[in-house]
Structure formats: structure tokens, C-alpha cells
Amino acid sequence: MTNKQRYQRTFSTLHASEDCLMEVKAMKPTKKIYISRLSVACAAVVMAIGLASVVYAADVGGIQRNVQIWIDGDKTDAVLDIQGTSYTVTTAQSPSREIKGGGVAFNDDGSERPLTEDEIMEHLNSPDVEYEDDGSVWVSARGEKIDITDRFDEDGVCYVQLNTEKGPVYLTVKFNGGFASSPHSYVSPKSFNTGAD
């Protein structure tokens, strides 16, 4: 015999008395609670505002942060606006400067994902090579601005070691042909040849 059958057999013999049944029938029905239309409308508005906030925070409105980045060797206040796989950085200095970029990173399984805020900030604060109108060439990196104009060899290549808070960064610069950096060693200029001589 199953438990269900045992319960049915046990409780089938129980019956309510006639007095108990009369008392239940005599009970007054409970009052109904009426909700006004105004209350329902207010609740709907609050719910809509809450959902709109969630949707905005879920990336429909993007992510906007106040950040500090290095520009021309100086730490500068800026606003970072991330929209999906692209970003815009607008500096607070006058005149305002706008930097745009974007990209994706790849997960271990090969799927794409947008860059994180930390990855974008690492890129923005990475070394940069600038060619001035007077013919000078400068490397800017986290508080340093180094003139490398006279450091190029006969092949138009310059090797610069930068000391950062994360350790040394080795920068290989090919005159008007790009540059590459690595925390381990100098990169061969042939690996990033853009066709410029």
C-alpha cells in the first residue's frame, strides 16, 4: 500500500460535525479590497521608470566614466564614453580634444567580446610616438616625453626603454613606419613594416 492510499484511508473516516458546518456557512465574507485606477497608474509609471533605468544601465545608453589619461606627458581629466565596441574620450582641457577608437577581444573559446574599461584605459595610456612640425620625434608615455629625434640608426630605427610602474617597456620605433612595444624585449622592426622606408 502506498503512502497516498494510507492517507486517503485514514482521513476518509473523518467528518465535520453539523455545528461546525453551520458555523462555516454563517461566516461573513471578507471585504474586497478595491485598488483605484490612480494607484495602478502610479505603479505602472514607477515600474516603467525602473525598467528604463535597467535598460540604460544594460548598455543601451553606454557606459560613461570620468577618467584620467596621459596626453603629451601630462595627466589629463577626461570623459570615457563606451558604446558597444567603440569608445570616445573627450578631454576636459581647453581646447577639448577627442580621441575615438574601438575594437574587440577574443575569449579563450574564440568568441568575440567588447573591450573592457580596463583594456581601453591600458591602450589609452600606452606609449605614443609623435612627429612634430619642426621635424622632431617624441615618445610620450605616462608622465614622460622623450625627444628621440637623434636616436635613429642608419636604417631609421630607434630603440627606447621606458620605465613604468608596471616595469620596463621596450619600444621599437621605425621612422614614419610605426612602432611596437613589449614588456619583454625589443620587437624586430620587420614584424610591423608598413611599407614606409
Closest CA to 116 of 127, 106, 131: 106
- Whether 140 and 160 have beta carbons less than 8 Å apart is answered as no
Question: Which residues are CB-contacts of 128 (< 8 A; sequence separation ≥ 6)?
Answer: 139, 140, 141
Mean residue pLDDT of the chain comes to 78
Measure the CA–CA gap between 121 and 123, rounded to whole angstroms.
5
Would you say residue 181 has pLDDT above 60? yes
The answer to whether the bond into 95 is cis (omega within 30° of 0) is: yes
Please tell me whether residue 94 adopts helix, strand or coil conformation: coil
For the stretch 63-89, pLDDT in tens is 677 887 777 667 788 888 888 888 888
| Domain positions in the chain | 62-124, 126-197
Closest CA to 98 of 88, 112, 110: 88
Phi first, then psi, for residue 26 (nearest 5°) are -80, -15
Q: What is the pTM of this model?
A: 0.49
Please tell me whether residue 139 adopts helix, strand or coil conformation: strand
